[in-house]
Amino acid sequence: MKRATLPRTLRAESHVRAKAQVKASSAPMRAGGDVGRPAGGPHSGLSDQARARLEEMIVSLELAPGSIWSEAELSARLGIGRTPVREALQRLEGDHLVRILPRHGAQITEINVVEQMLLLDLRRVLDRLIATDAARRCTAQERSQLLKMAERLEAFESDDVLAYLRQHYELKNFLADCARNPFVARAVMPCYAMSRRFYYLYYRQVPDIATATKHHAEVIRAVVVGDEKAAAAASDRLMDYVEELTRATVKSRF
């Protein structure tokens, strides 16, 4: 059965959002979980900033797993008021990166290998759907932008893993937007955040940036030429690799 395509008006609106996303891609890790989120109150802009900065601090282990932080401490650290910080923490709790402790603040969630493997089961399905939908739906301009972003990621030679993860995040976020399914994008972004944190913790044990970028580039090139089957296959190979890497990090601990 042939899968339905979106109406032209919806495709046009999504294209406008995608162009705006590319323009903003120079910022630090954006709040991907906000895809499809309605506009908030007067603090929504600061809440977005607080969420993005807190997520990067969690991913980079600047806020250590298991540590507990009060709203006042995080507000002072970010230079942002307590109300936006509170809103950001509530959203990060939905992404399983923090746990709200009434009257105590927020606890950064621990990194659990078993949970990480379960997470990859979900991510495999969502990543495959994003790749095939993007291969079918993205515009010529978006295909060009995706290719540029993939080439930039492949050319990455620094040992600054956080800079690499920022580029990776921008690429994955933009690819999800090209799939034209905000519900899938919203579901997958917490998976990406938790995967980035896991990778940041263990990348020194299994250095693999070149291999990782190769797999990501294969997905993008299949999307760029509009080959849905090849995009799905490349996505599955990427997830095979991610699962192997996760198991390798566990073995290296013993």
Q: What pLDDT, in 10s, does the model give residues 71-86?
A: 999 999 999 999 999 9
What does the pLDDT average to over 175-202?
A: 93
Distance CA 63, CA 45 (A): 22
The yes-or-no verdict on residue 233 having pLDDT over 60 is: yes
Q: What is the pLDDT of residue 28?
A: 40
Fold of 40-108: Arc Repressor Mutant, subunit A (1.10.10)
> What are 118-121's contacts with CB under 8 Å, separation 24+?
119/191, 119/194, 119/195, 120/195, 120/239, 120/242, 120/243, 120/246
Q: Which residue has the higher pLDDT, 252 or 192?
A: 192
Q: Can you read off the two tokens belonging to residue 140?
A: 């010529």
What does the pLDDT average to over 131-153?
A: 97
Q: What is the pLDDT of residue 23?
A: 39
Residue 10 pLDDT class (50, 70, 90 cuts): very low
Q: What is the pLDDT of residue 3?
A: 45
Which CATH code of 1.20.1740.10, 3.40.605.10, 1.20.120.530, 3.40.120.10 fits the domain covering 112-251?
A: 1.20.120.530
Q: What is the pLDDT of residue 230?
A: 98
Q: Can you read off the two tokens belonging to residue 188?
A: 């997958």
Could you give the angle at which helices 228-251 and 113-137 cross, rounded to 10 degrees?
160
Residue 192 pLDDT class (50, 70, 90 cuts): very high
User: What residue has token string 């905000």?
Assistant: 182
User: What's the whole-number average pLDDT of the chain?
Assistant: 84
Q: What is the pLDDT of residue 18?
A: 43
Domain range list for the chain: 40-108, 112-251
Could you give the angle at which helices 113-137 and 161-178 cross, rounded to 10 degrees?
50
Q: What is the pLDDT of residue 185?
A: 95
Q: Can you read off the two tokens belonging to residue 7?
A: 């109406």
The yes-or-no verdict on residue 237 having pLDDT over 80 is: yes
Specify the DSSP class assigned to residue 225.
Answer: T
Q: Which residue has the higher pLDDT, 61 or 18?
A: 61
Backbone angles phi, psi at 98, to 5 degrees: -135, 165
Burial of 110 (0-12, 13-18, 19+ CB in 10 A): exposed
Q: What is the pLDDT of residue 9?
A: 44
Q: What pLDDT, in 10s, does the model give residues 31-52?
A: 333 333 333 444 459 999 999 9
3-state DSSP assignment of residue 233: helix
What does the pLDDT average to over 100-117?
A: 92
Q: What is the pLDDT of residue 253?
A: 58
Distance CA 99, CA 116 (A): 17
Measured over the CA atoms of residue 191, residue 236, residue 142 and residue 213, the dihedral's sign is: positive
Q: Which residue has the higher pLDDT, 152 or 24?
A: 152
CA 109 to chain CA centroid, Å, is 17
Q: What pLDDT, in 10s, does the model give residues 54-74?
A: 999 999 999 999 999 999 999
Closest by alpha carbon to 205, among 175, 167, 246, 238?
246
Q: Which residue has the higher pLDDT, 74 or 201?
A: 74
